[in-house]
A and B are shown apart, each in its own frame.
Chain A
Amino acid sequence: MSVTFARTETGRSLRLSRVPWMPILSVAGFVLVWFIGAEIAQSRLLPGPVAVLEYIYDESLHGNLLTQLGITLWRVVASFFVAMIIGSAIGLIMGQMPAVNRVLDPWLIVLLNLPALVIIILAYVWFGLSEATAIGAVALNKIPNVVVTLREGARALDPALNEMARAYRMSPWSKFRNVTLPQLQPYFAAASRSGISLIWKIVLVVELLGRPNGVGFELHLNFQLFNVIAILGYTLAFVAVMLAIEYLLVQPLERYSTRWRNKPV
């Protein structure tokens, strides 16, 4: 009896997961709670979902919400690539050369534990309130995480496949592309995942402290005006952008690069 029951359960949850009903229901539930809460509170400090959506709509058409979103998105993307490239290079070297690892490891720990705010303030003080400083400061906050993840990846490289590549005299480039990179793919995926979310949070701080535009600047401005509709509007709009990146870019890319596995992740 219990076996049959378990089977029906998995069968149903599998069919359900093909259409993403559960996430949709979950979000709808949240919006409902928000709506009821706002109705009860009747306060300028807790606007309902309709008011916020109206604000987003108006600001996109007549205001500069889209421009600000674009500027912030560009900063996120730029910092992300700078952090990933520099971080993975250092991580791979540290993972494969114990001597380098011993020298750099204390600095890695320092950087991991240095508050983002300290890095941002010092960067602005020393290098000026420029776009390059902003992006560099954000990247510097993310680099240690990438290093740690990719260092693990480099340590986990399979020596048997490495030996195969050497026995067959594969060229360094071919070996990197066909033997090393695919083994690092899960580590890149993990670093990117945690990377995008961390970076966008830090980008807002950087914008708040020293940029004349972007979502962070707008949030700061509206905080001073106590304009909660605008704060929620900007937040929601950017969260939507990040969700779109996750579902339309990151996940399909991941499915493509792990298609060789028996079961897709």
Chain B
Amino acid sequence: MSVTTGTLAPRALRRGATRSGVKILIDVAFAGLLFVGTITAVIALATLIWTILDAGWARLVGDPVGFLTNYVSRLPANAGIKAGLVGSAYLMVVTAVICFPVGVGAAVYLEEFAPRNRLTNFVESNISNLAGVPSVVYGLLGLGIFARFLRMGPSLLAGALTLAVMSLPVIIVAGREAIRAVPDSIREGAYALGATKWQLTRTQVLPAALPGTMTGTILALSRAIGETAPLLVIGLPVVIFTLPDDLRDPVSALPLLIFNWTSRPQPAFAEAAAAASIVLLALLLAMNAVAIFIRNRYTIRW
């Protein structure tokens, strides 16, 4: 067993590990500190959710059906999130369809098939670099390439492609983690039975890695759905009275609505924005719940 930074053994032996009163106090204080540190994050989250609920609950329950099924309006009392909510849902679905296969494919290739050469290294460091690029820059990419150069305009397709490209690095990383967790013994067993690498990947590794990958994908998507900046940059409309029928149709999104309503002078719009935030948070929680469910039920622990 080699530990390259050995800080423990000499010191404990020197001091003699008797548990004096002061030590116990320090131990307890430390445990307390840990608890406080952990609980602070939880309390912050609770406070945030409470603040939003307080601001928007009345508006939401005052007219829930109307709020969910109306389109936007100049009158806050009539304004609803239908276009934004459905738009976000469509965006999410199309984004998932685009980035899940590509992400899984890339992860499989990098983990199972890629030779150890400079190209692979380059691709890998490129992916981890992309994971840190700000969402605004992805928005600029979407505007320049998808909306303008490829002439998609501010459409469902352009928006989904932008969000997909943004989520891709996260999915690849999650996929690689999940694939790595499958022990080599499984692979060697398959080889012993005469399988080719692809056969074994398809029948053994992928099914085992799927839950972990899906969890990572859902979490990445739930973050993408709350992103405002990229969609703002592409220029998705805020006012729209129809639902998209086609990938090339314009589409709105819930975060865009929220952001737009908070900039209106009428105080009632601020309430509407808070109510819309509650719906967005509910959406987020639902997606997280699904991800956790998949992780708990289907993940194989080797």
| Same complex origin of A and B | no
